[in-house]
Amino acid sequence: MLIDLTYSILNAIIQTFLQPRLKCIDGELCLITGAGGALGRLFALEFAKEGARLVHTFTVDLSKRQSIYEAAGRVREEVGEISILVNNAGVVAGRRLLECPDELLERTLLVNCHALFWMTKAFLPPMKVKNRGHIVTVASALGLFSTACVEDYCASKFGAVGFHESLTHELVAEGHVDIKTTLVCPYIVDTGMFAGCEIRRELRSLIPPLDPLYTVQQSMKAILAEQQMICIPRLMYIPYLARALLPWDANVATYRFMGGDKCMLPFIKNAELKTSNGHSKSS
For the annotated catalytic residues, the residue numbers are: 153
Q: Within 10 A of 230 (CB to CB), how many other CB atoms are there?
A: 20
The CA angle 131-24-126, to the nearest 5 degrees, is: 25
Could you give the 3-state DSSP secondary structure of residue 66? helix
Nearest one of 196, 192, 193, 165 to 181, comparing CA atoms? 165
Distance of CA 39 to the CA centre of its chain: 10
**Straight-line distance from the first to the last Cα atom of the chain, in angstroms, rounded to the nearest whole number:** 66
The CA angle 76-77-81, to the nearest 5 degrees, is: 25
Q: What does each C-alpha distance from 157 to 35, 215, 219 come to in angstroms?
A: 19, 17, 17
Q: Which amino acid is at 172?
A: V
Rounded to an integer, what distance in angstroms lies between the CA atom of residue 222 and that of residue 64? 30
218: left (phi over 0), alpha (psi -120 to 50) or beta: alpha
